[in-house]
Amino acid sequence: MTAYWINTFTAIHDEAKLARYIELAGPAMRAAGGEFLARGNPVHVLEGSAALRTTVIRFASADAAVAAYHSPGYQEALAALGDGAERDIRILNGVEG
């Protein structure tokens, strides 16, 4: 079943660390089979207060998304981000039919 990785930044503390994370994370996600569907700052925030960067990535399965998180390439991206940001990451199964 298709799964979606949703990464929402709740605070950004260091733009340089974020930039390095983005440079490394994109290729790591694609190498793990992820397809970027949306990324960037919200165009509109209709409820809630978070107006920071959000990313939606499609994977073939939830297991593939979790494997991407634990991949060496993504772990390198996380190390580069360090304390540069705070995030919420969710993996959701897609809706069938």
Which residue segments constitute the domains of the chain, with CATH numbers given?
Answer: 3-93 (3.30.70.100)
Instruction: Provide the phi-psi class of 48: left if phi over 0, else alpha when psi is between -120 and 50, else beta.
Output: left
Whose tokens are 């991407």? That residue is: 68
pTM greater than the 0.75 cutoff = yes
pLDDT in tens, 12-60: 999 999 999 999 999 999 999 999 999 999 998 888 877 789 999 999 9
Q: Residue 51: its pLDDT value, please?
A: 77
Query: Would you tell me how many other CB atoms lie within 10 Å of the CB of residue 4?
Result: 18
